[in-house]
Amino acid sequence: MTDLFPEKGHDHGRCIDSALRQAEDVAEANNARFTDMRRRVFTLIWQSHKAITAYELLDSLQAEGVRAQPPTVYRALEFLVGLGLIHRIESLNAYFGCDMPHHEHLGQYFICRNCGRVAEAVNDDMSSAVHAAARAVGFRIEATTIEIKGLCHDCATH
Amino acid sequence: MTDLFPEKGHDHGRCIDSALRQAEDVAEANNARFTDMRRRVFTLIWQSHKAITAYELLDSLQAEGVRAQPPTVYRALEFLVGLGLIHRIESLNAYFGCDMPHHEHLGQYFICRNCGRVAEAVNDDMSSAVHAAARAVGFRIEATTIEIKGLCHDCATH
DNA sequence: GACGAAATGATATAATATAACACTTGAAGA
DNA sequence: TCTTCAAGTGTTATATTATATCATTTCGTC
Ligand SMILES: [Zn+2]
Ligand SMILES: [Zn+2]
Ligand SMILES: [Zn+2]
Ligand SMILES: [Zn+2]
Protein backbone atom coordinates (compact mmCIF):
# COMPACT_ATOMS: atom_id res chain seq x y z
CA MET A 1 0.00 0.00 0.00
CA THR A 2 1.38 3.35 -1.03
CA ASP A 3 0.51 6.20 1.23
CA LEU A 4 -0.35 9.38 -0.58
CA PHE A 5 0.83 11.37 2.37
CA PRO A 6 4.49 12.30 2.73
CA GLU A 7 6.67 10.22 5.02
CA LYS A 8 7.09 11.36 8.59
CA GLY A 9 10.71 12.37 8.43
CA HIS A 10 10.87 13.58 4.86
CA ASP A 11 12.97 16.57 3.92
CA HIS A 12 10.27 19.15 3.53
CA GLY A 13 12.70 21.76 2.31
CA ARG A 14 12.88 19.76 -0.87
CA CYS A 15 9.08 19.86 -1.20
CA ILE A 16 9.19 23.62 -0.93
CA ASP A 17 12.06 24.01 -3.38
CA SER A 18 10.47 21.75 -5.90
CA ALA A 19 7.13 23.51 -5.59
CA LEU A 20 8.75 26.90 -6.06
CA ARG A 21 10.66 25.75 -9.09
CA GLN A 22 7.56 24.29 -10.68
CA ALA A 23 5.52 27.38 -9.85
CA GLU A 24 8.05 29.58 -11.54
CA ASP A 25 8.01 27.37 -14.61
CA VAL A 26 4.25 27.36 -14.81
CA ALA A 27 4.03 31.11 -14.31
CA GLU A 28 6.59 31.71 -17.02
CA ALA A 29 4.85 29.30 -19.38
CA ASN A 30 1.68 31.29 -18.84
CA ASN A 31 3.30 34.70 -19.17
CA ALA A 32 2.21 35.44 -15.66
CA ARG A 33 4.22 37.41 -13.13
CA PHE A 34 5.24 35.47 -10.06
CA THR A 35 5.64 38.60 -7.99
CA ASP A 36 7.17 38.90 -4.57
CA MET A 37 3.80 38.96 -2.83
CA ARG A 38 2.63 35.90 -4.72
CA ARG A 39 5.83 34.09 -3.95
CA ARG A 40 5.49 34.94 -0.26
CA VAL A 41 1.94 33.63 -0.10
CA PHE A 42 2.84 30.55 -2.10
CA THR A 43 5.80 29.82 0.15
CA LEU A 44 3.66 30.22 3.26
CA ILE A 45 1.13 27.78 1.88
CA TRP A 46 3.93 25.31 1.32
CA GLN A 47 5.21 25.57 4.89
CA SER A 48 3.28 22.39 5.59
CA HIS A 49 1.19 19.76 3.86
CA LYS A 50 -1.87 21.10 5.61
CA ALA A 51 -4.44 23.44 4.18
CA ILE A 52 -4.20 27.01 5.41
CA THR A 53 -6.85 29.73 5.51
CA ALA A 54 -6.61 33.19 4.02
CA TYR A 55 -6.52 34.82 7.42
CA GLU A 56 -3.85 32.48 8.72
CA LEU A 57 -1.80 33.54 5.73
CA LEU A 58 -2.55 37.16 6.51
CA ASP A 59 -1.38 36.71 10.09
CA SER A 60 1.82 35.04 8.94
CA LEU A 61 2.53 37.81 6.50
CA GLN A 62 1.99 40.42 9.16
CA ALA A 63 4.20 38.47 11.54
CA GLU A 64 6.90 38.65 8.88
CA GLY A 65 6.50 42.41 8.92
CA VAL A 66 4.69 42.63 5.61
CA ARG A 67 1.93 45.21 5.68
CA ALA A 68 -0.87 43.23 4.12
CA GLN A 69 -4.64 43.45 4.18
CA PRO A 70 -7.23 40.81 3.25
CA PRO A 71 -7.48 41.83 -0.42
CA THR A 72 -3.75 41.36 -0.81
CA VAL A 73 -4.02 37.78 0.31
CA TYR A 74 -7.16 37.01 -1.64
CA ARG A 75 -5.63 38.42 -4.80
CA ALA A 76 -2.58 36.25 -4.42
CA LEU A 77 -4.79 33.25 -3.76
CA GLU A 78 -6.91 34.00 -6.79
CA PHE A 79 -3.81 34.18 -8.95
CA LEU A 80 -2.37 30.96 -7.58
CA VAL A 81 -5.63 29.05 -7.87
CA GLY A 82 -6.07 30.40 -11.38
CA LEU A 83 -2.74 28.97 -12.47
CA GLY A 84 -3.44 25.71 -10.66
CA LEU A 85 -0.48 26.22 -8.33
CA ILE A 86 -2.70 25.76 -5.30
CA HIS A 87 -6.14 24.29 -4.74
CA ARG A 88 -8.98 25.48 -2.60
CA ILE A 89 -10.55 22.99 -0.21
CA GLU A 90 -14.19 24.01 -0.14
CA SER A 91 -15.11 22.17 3.01
CA LEU A 92 -12.32 23.90 4.94
CA ASN A 93 -12.31 27.34 3.31
CA ALA A 94 -8.60 26.77 3.01
CA TYR A 95 -5.85 26.37 0.43
CA PHE A 96 -3.00 24.02 -0.14
CA GLY A 97 -0.21 23.57 -2.60
CA CYS A 98 -0.45 21.42 -5.68
CA ASP A 99 2.58 19.29 -6.38
CA MET A 100 1.74 18.62 -10.02
CA PRO A 101 0.79 22.01 -11.39
CA HIS A 102 2.16 21.28 -14.84
CA HIS A 103 -0.66 19.20 -16.16
CA GLU A 104 -4.29 20.10 -15.86
CA HIS A 105 -6.13 17.70 -13.64
CA LEU A 106 -9.29 17.22 -11.68
CA GLY A 107 -8.00 16.11 -8.32
CA GLN A 108 -9.53 14.49 -5.31
CA TYR A 109 -8.49 15.55 -1.87
CA PHE A 110 -7.92 13.34 1.14
CA ILE A 111 -8.07 15.35 4.36
CA CYS A 112 -6.97 13.87 7.66
CA ARG A 113 -9.01 15.21 10.55
CA ASN A 114 -6.31 14.26 13.04
CA CYS A 115 -3.05 15.53 11.61
CA GLY A 116 -4.67 18.07 9.29
CA ARG A 117 -2.67 17.02 6.27
CA VAL A 118 -4.16 17.09 2.81
CA ALA A 119 -3.11 14.84 -0.04
CA GLU A 120 -4.16 15.16 -3.61
CA ALA A 121 -4.95 12.17 -5.76
CA VAL A 122 -5.60 12.10 -9.46
CA ASN A 123 -7.52 8.92 -9.72
CA ASP A 124 -8.94 7.90 -13.06
CA ASP A 125 -11.45 5.50 -11.57
CA MET A 126 -12.98 8.26 -9.47
CA SER A 127 -12.94 10.70 -12.37
CA SER A 128 -14.47 8.33 -14.81
CA ALA A 129 -17.15 7.23 -12.37
CA VAL A 130 -18.13 10.86 -11.96
CA HIS A 131 -18.09 11.50 -15.68
CA ALA A 132 -20.06 8.36 -16.42
CA ALA A 133 -22.68 9.31 -13.86
CA ALA A 134 -22.94 12.76 -15.37
CA ARG A 135 -23.24 11.40 -18.88
CA ALA A 136 -25.99 9.06 -17.77
CA VAL A 137 -28.11 11.98 -16.64
CA GLY A 138 -27.18 14.41 -19.38
CA PHE A 139 -25.20 16.70 -17.13
CA ARG A 140 -22.34 18.72 -18.65
CA ILE A 141 -19.55 18.91 -16.09
CA GLU A 142 -17.59 22.13 -15.68
CA ALA A 143 -15.97 21.57 -12.30
CA THR A 144 -15.84 18.92 -9.62
CA THR A 145 -15.21 19.08 -5.91
CA ILE A 146 -14.22 15.76 -4.36
CA GLU A 147 -13.11 16.00 -0.76
CA ILE A 148 -12.69 12.96 1.42
CA LYS A 149 -12.38 13.39 5.17
CA GLY A 150 -11.19 10.84 7.67
CA LEU A 151 -7.96 9.45 9.01
CA CYS A 152 -4.77 9.06 7.07
CA HIS A 153 -2.92 5.78 7.34
CA ASP A 154 -0.51 7.11 9.97
CA CYS A 155 -3.25 8.49 12.15
CA ALA A 156 -5.49 5.47 11.72
CA THR A 157 -2.82 3.01 12.79
CA HIS A 158 -0.95 4.88 15.53
CA MET B 1 -31.42 9.05 -20.43
CA THR B 2 -33.12 9.78 -17.17
CA ASP B 3 -32.69 13.29 -15.89
CA LEU B 4 -32.06 13.53 -12.19
CA PHE B 5 -33.64 16.93 -12.14
CA PRO B 6 -37.39 17.31 -11.76
CA GLU B 7 -39.45 17.94 -14.86
CA LYS B 8 -40.25 21.49 -15.82
CA GLY B 9 -43.95 21.48 -15.10
CA HIS B 10 -43.97 19.10 -12.18
CA ASP B 11 -46.33 19.62 -9.27
CA HIS B 12 -43.91 20.94 -6.72
CA GLY B 13 -46.54 21.03 -4.02
CA ARG B 14 -46.28 17.26 -4.02
CA CYS B 15 -42.52 17.46 -3.54
CA ILE B 16 -43.06 19.66 -0.50
CA ASP B 17 -45.79 17.48 0.95
CA SER B 18 -43.79 14.34 0.49
CA ALA B 19 -40.70 15.90 2.00
CA LEU B 20 -42.63 17.10 5.02
CA ARG B 21 -44.21 13.72 5.54
CA GLN B 22 -40.87 11.96 5.33
CA ALA B 23 -39.24 14.49 7.60
CA GLU B 24 -41.89 13.93 10.23
CA ASP B 25 -41.40 10.19 9.97
CA VAL B 26 -37.65 10.44 10.30
CA ALA B 27 -37.87 12.82 13.21
CA GLU B 28 -40.29 10.56 15.00
CA ALA B 29 -38.15 7.50 14.32
CA ASN B 30 -35.25 9.34 15.90
CA ASN B 31 -37.19 10.66 18.86
CA ALA B 32 -36.42 14.15 17.69
CA ARG B 33 -38.79 17.10 17.90
CA PHE B 34 -39.81 18.57 14.59
CA THR B 35 -40.66 21.93 16.12
CA ASP B 36 -42.43 24.81 14.49
CA MET B 37 -39.19 26.67 13.78
CA ARG B 38 -37.59 23.61 12.26
CA ARG B 39 -40.64 22.97 10.13
CA ARG B 40 -40.64 26.57 8.92
CA VAL B 41 -36.98 26.39 7.92
CA PHE B 42 -37.41 23.00 6.33
CA THR B 43 -40.41 24.20 4.35
CA LEU B 44 -38.54 27.27 3.16
CA ILE B 45 -35.68 25.09 1.97
CA TRP B 46 -38.15 23.03 0.02
CA GLN B 47 -39.68 26.02 -1.74
CA SER B 48 -37.47 25.16 -4.67
CA HIS B 49 -35.01 22.56 -5.86
CA LYS B 50 -32.21 25.07 -5.50
CA ALA B 51 -29.84 25.38 -2.60
CA ILE B 52 -30.54 28.26 -0.25
CA THR B 53 -28.21 30.07 2.11
CA ALA B 54 -28.72 30.61 5.83
CA TYR B 55 -29.20 34.33 5.37
CA GLU B 56 -31.69 33.89 2.58
CA LEU B 57 -33.64 31.69 4.96
CA LEU B 58 -33.32 34.35 7.63
CA ASP B 59 -34.68 37.00 5.28
CA SER B 60 -37.60 34.79 4.32
CA LEU B 61 -38.43 34.09 7.93
CA GLN B 62 -38.35 37.77 8.73
CA ALA B 63 -40.50 38.51 5.68
CA GLU B 64 -43.02 36.05 7.12
CA GLY B 65 -43.03 38.12 10.29
CA VAL B 66 -41.04 35.64 12.35
CA ARG B 67 -38.56 37.35 14.64
CA ALA B 68 -35.47 35.31 13.94
CA GLN B 69 -31.77 35.90 14.32
CA PRO B 70 -28.87 34.02 12.72
CA PRO B 71 -28.50 31.50 15.55
CA THR B 72 -32.12 30.48 15.14
CA VAL B 73 -31.54 29.60 11.53
CA TYR B 74 -28.22 27.90 12.09
CA ARG B 75 -29.68 25.80 14.89
CA ALA B 76 -32.50 24.63 12.69
CA LEU B 77 -30.04 23.87 9.92
CA GLU B 78 -27.80 21.95 12.28
CA PHE B 79 -30.75 19.86 13.41
CA LEU B 80 -31.94 19.16 9.88
CA VAL B 81 -28.48 18.29 8.59
CA GLY B 82 -27.95 16.08 11.63
CA LEU B 83 -31.03 14.02 10.81
CA GLY B 84 -30.11 13.94 7.14
CA LEU B 85 -33.25 15.85 6.16
CA ILE B 86 -31.20 18.41 4.31
CA HIS B 87 -27.66 18.48 2.96
CA ARG B 88 -25.11 21.26 2.99
CA ILE B 89 -23.43 22.13 -0.30
CA GLU B 90 -19.94 23.14 0.73
CA SER B 91 -19.02 24.92 -2.44
CA LEU B 92 -22.11 27.14 -2.17
CA ASN B 93 -22.41 27.58 1.59
CA ALA B 94 -25.99 26.60 1.06
CA TYR B 95 -28.51 23.92 1.93
CA PHE B 96 -31.05 21.88 0.08
CA GLY B 97 -33.61 19.26 0.86
CA CYS B 98 -32.93 15.57 0.70
CA ASP B 99 -35.66 13.53 -0.90
CA MET B 100 -34.53 10.20 0.50
CA PRO B 101 -33.86 10.90 4.16
CA HIS B 102 -34.92 7.45 5.29
CA HIS B 103 -31.82 5.57 4.38
CA GLU B 104 -28.32 6.69 5.21
CA HIS B 105 -26.39 7.51 2.11
CA LEU B 106 -23.33 9.27 0.87
CA GLY B 107 -24.70 11.38 -1.92
CA GLN B 108 -23.20 13.22 -4.81
CA TYR B 109 -24.57 16.58 -5.83
CA PHE B 110 -25.09 17.91 -9.31
CA ILE B 111 -25.37 21.68 -9.33
CA CYS B 112 -26.50 23.58 -12.40
CA ARG B 113 -24.79 26.94 -12.68
CA ASN B 114 -27.52 28.24 -14.97
CA CYS B 115 -30.81 27.33 -13.32
CA GLY B 116 -29.33 26.89 -9.87
CA ARG B 117 -31.02 23.59 -9.24
CA VAL B 118 -29.33 20.86 -7.27
CA ALA B 119 -29.95 17.16 -7.70
CA GLU B 120 -28.71 14.43 -5.47
CA ALA B 121 -27.48 11.12 -6.80
CA VAL B 122 -26.59 8.04 -4.85
CA ASN B 123 -24.33 6.35 -7.30
CA ASP B 124 -22.61 3.15 -6.29
CA ASP B 125 -19.93 3.44 -8.96
CA MET B 126 -18.84 6.81 -7.66
CA SER B 127 -18.99 5.66 -4.06
CA SER B 128 -17.06 2.52 -4.68
CA ALA B 129 -14.41 4.30 -6.72
CA VAL B 130 -13.89 6.65 -3.81
CA HIS B 131 -13.77 3.83 -1.30
CA ALA B 132 -11.41 1.78 -3.43
CA ALA B 133 -9.08 4.73 -3.84
CA ALA B 134 -9.12 5.30 -0.09
CA ARG B 135 -8.46 1.64 0.64
CA ALA B 136 -5.53 1.66 -1.74
CA VAL B 137 -3.83 4.40 0.26
CA GLY B 138 -4.88 3.24 3.70
CA PHE B 139 -7.22 6.13 4.30
CA ARG B 140 -10.18 5.61 6.63
CA ILE B 141 -13.13 7.56 5.25
CA GLU B 142 -15.45 9.38 7.63
CA ALA B 143 -17.18 11.77 5.27
CA THR B 144 -17.20 12.63 1.60
CA THR B 145 -18.05 15.77 -0.29
CA ILE B 146 -18.75 15.23 -3.96
CA GLU B 147 -20.12 18.26 -5.75
CA ILE B 148 -20.34 18.46 -9.50
CA LYS B 149 -20.94 21.80 -11.16
CA GLY B 150 -21.98 22.44 -14.70
CA LEU B 151 -25.12 22.50 -16.79
CA CYS B 152 -28.13 20.29 -16.27
CA HIS B 153 -29.62 18.58 -19.30
CA ASP B 154 -32.32 21.23 -19.71
CA CYS B 155 -29.89 24.10 -19.53
CA ALA B 156 -27.30 22.41 -21.74
CA THR B 157 -29.77 21.72 -24.54
CA HIS B 158 -32.01 24.80 -24.52
C1' DG C 1 11.84 59.18 -19.88
C1' DA C 2 6.59 58.67 -20.94
C1' DC C 3 2.86 55.69 -21.10
C1' DG C 4 -0.48 52.31 -19.89
C1' DA C 5 -1.67 47.95 -17.96
C1' DA C 6 -1.09 45.13 -14.08
C1' DA C 7 -0.30 44.79 -9.34
C1' DT C 8 -0.65 46.39 -4.77
C1' DG C 9 -2.18 49.55 -0.89
C1' DA C 10 -5.86 51.15 1.87
C1' DT C 11 -10.44 51.69 3.56
C1' DA C 12 -14.80 50.11 4.05
C1' DT C 13 -18.22 46.75 4.11
C1' DA C 14 -20.62 42.38 2.85
C1' DA C 15 -21.51 37.56 3.75
C1' DT C 16 -21.15 33.54 6.60
C1' DA C 17 -20.99 31.52 11.24
C1' DT C 18 -20.65 30.98 16.33
C1' DA C 19 -20.26 32.14 21.51
C1' DA C 20 -22.58 33.17 25.60
C1' DC C 21 -26.23 33.76 28.55
C1' DA C 22 -31.25 34.50 29.50
C1' DC C 23 -35.77 32.82 28.99
C1' DT C 24 -39.44 29.50 27.52
C1' DT C 25 -41.38 25.16 26.56
C1' DG C 26 -42.58 20.58 26.98
C1' DA C 27 -41.79 15.68 28.25
C1' DA C 28 -41.45 12.72 32.22
C1' DG C 29 -41.51 11.44 36.88
C1' DA C 30 -43.04 12.39 41.81
C1' DT D 1 -51.32 18.05 39.10
C1' DC D 2 -47.06 19.83 40.22
C1' DT D 3 -42.18 19.84 39.78
C1' DT D 4 -38.18 19.50 37.48
C1' DC D 5 -34.90 19.62 34.09
C1' DA D 6 -33.26 19.08 29.54
C1' DA D 7 -34.10 20.83 25.08
C1' DG D 8 -35.29 24.58 22.41
C1' DT D 9 -35.43 29.45 21.42
C1' DG D 10 -34.44 34.58 22.10
C1' DT D 11 -31.05 38.08 22.24
C1' DT D 12 -26.79 40.39 21.96
C1' DA D 13 -22.36 40.41 20.65
C1' DT D 14 -18.60 38.94 17.99
C1' DA D 15 -15.71 35.86 15.05
C1' DT D 16 -14.57 34.36 10.47
C1' DT D 17 -14.50 34.55 5.53
C1' DA D 18 -14.70 37.42 1.39
C1' DT D 19 -15.29 41.42 -1.77
C1' DA D 20 -16.03 46.35 -3.60
C1' DT D 21 -13.87 50.57 -4.53
C1' DC D 22 -10.58 53.88 -5.40
C1' DA D 23 -5.71 55.54 -4.78
C1' DT D 24 -0.93 54.54 -5.61
C1' DT D 25 2.99 51.95 -7.22
C1' DT D 26 5.48 48.95 -10.26
C1' DC D 27 7.03 47.29 -14.53
C1' DG D 28 7.39 46.17 -19.28
C1' DT D 29 7.11 48.62 -23.73
C1' DC D 30 7.74 52.29 -26.60
ZN1 LIG E 1 6.91 17.97 2.41
ZN1 LIG F 1 -3.31 12.12 9.75
ZN1 LIG G 1 -40.37 19.75 -6.92
ZN1 LIG H 1 -30.04 23.99 -15.18
Do B22 and B71 belong to one domain?
yes
d(CA B107, CA B110): 10
Of A97, A127, A146, which residue is a domain's last? A97
Range of the domain at A150: 108-156
Q: What is the pTM of this model?
A: 0.94
Neighboring chain B residues of A132 at a CB cutoff of 8 Å: 125
Q: What is the CATH number of the domain that holds B59?
A: 1.10.10.10
Residues flanking ion ligand 4, Cβ below 5 Å: B 112, 114-115, 152, 155
The confidence score (pLDDT) of residue B158 equals: 83
> B142 to chain A, minimum CA–CA distance in Å?
5
d(CA B154, CA B158): 6
Of B70, B97, B124, which residue is a domain's last? B97
Do A86 and A59 belong to one domain?
yes
Phi, psi of A83 (to 5 degrees): -85, -5
Do A65 and A138 belong to one domain?
no
d(CA B156, CA A9): 50
Q: Is B5 within the bounds of a domain?
A: no
Do A64 and A122 belong to one domain?
no
Residue B57 CB closer than 7 angstroms to strand D?
A: no
Q: What is the CATH number of the domain that holds B114?
A: 3.30.1490.190
CA of A93 to C1' of D29 (A): 40
Do B75 and B151 belong to one domain?
no
Do A89 and A126 belong to one domain?
no
Q: Is B4 within the bounds of a domain?
A: no
Cross-chain residue pair A150–B137, CB shorter than 8 Å: no
Cβ neighbours of residue A23 closer than 8 Å, sequence gap 6 or more: A34, A39, A42, A83, A85, A101
Do B50 and B83 belong to one domain?
yes
> Using CB atoms, which residue from A2, A126, A137 is nearest to B137?
A2
Q: Is A4 within the bounds of a domain?
A: no
* pLDDT (tens digit per residue) in A39-77: 999 999 999 999 999 999 999 999 999 999 999 999 999
The confidence score (pLDDT) of residue B130 equals: 96
CA of B15 to C1' of D14 (A): 39
Q: Is A38 within the bounds of a domain?
A: yes
Q: How many CB pairs under 8 A join A and B?
A: 142
Do A36 and A80 belong to one domain?
yes
The confidence score (pLDDT) of residue B103 equals: 85
Neighboring chain B residues of A2 at a CB cutoff of 8 Å: 136-137
Q: Is B125 on the interface with A (CB under 8 A)?
A: yes
Average pLDDT over chain A, rounded to an integer? 95
The CB-side HSE value for B42 (13 A sphere, CA atoms) comes to 30
d(CA B31, CA A2): 44
The confidence score (pLDDT) of residue B102 equals: 87
DSSP code per residue over B131-144: HHHHHHTT-EEEEE
Q: Is A5 within the bounds of a domain?
A: no
Residue B54 CB closer than 7 angstroms to strand D?
A: no
User: What is the tally of structural domains in chain B?
Assistant: 2
Do A22 and A88 belong to one domain?
yes
The confidence score (pLDDT) of residue A27 equals: 96
> Using CB atoms, which residue from B2, B145, B156 is nearest to A91?
B145
Query: pLDDT tens digits, chain A, 158 residues: what are they?
Result: 778 999 989 999 999 999 999 999 999 999 999 999 999 999 999 999 999 999 999 999 999 999 999 999 999 999 999 999 999 999 999 999 999 988 878 899 999 999 999 999 999 999 999 999 999 999 999 999 999 999 999 999 98
Do A46 and A87 belong to one domain?
yes
Query: pLDDT tens digits, chain B, 158 residues: what are they?
Result: 778 999 989 999 999 999 999 999 999 999 999 999 999 999 999 999 999 999 999 999 999 999 999 999 999 999 999 999 999 999 999 999 999 988 878 899 999 999 999 999 999 999 999 999 999 999 999 999 999 999 999 999 98
Q: Is A130 within the bounds of a domain?
A: yes
Neighboring chain B residues of A119 at a CB cutoff of 8 Å: 137
The confidence score (pLDDT) of residue B104 equals: 79
Q: Is A48 within the bounds of a domain?
A: yes
SS (H, E, C) B57-113: HHHHHHHCCCCCCHHHHHHHHHHHHHCCCEEEECCCCEEEECCCCCCCCCCEEEEEC
The confidence score (pLDDT) of residue B80 equals: 98
Do A26 and A66 belong to one domain?
yes
Residue A13 CB closer than 7 angstroms to strand C?
A: no
Q: Is B3 within the bounds of a domain?
A: no
Do A53 and A90 belong to one domain?
yes
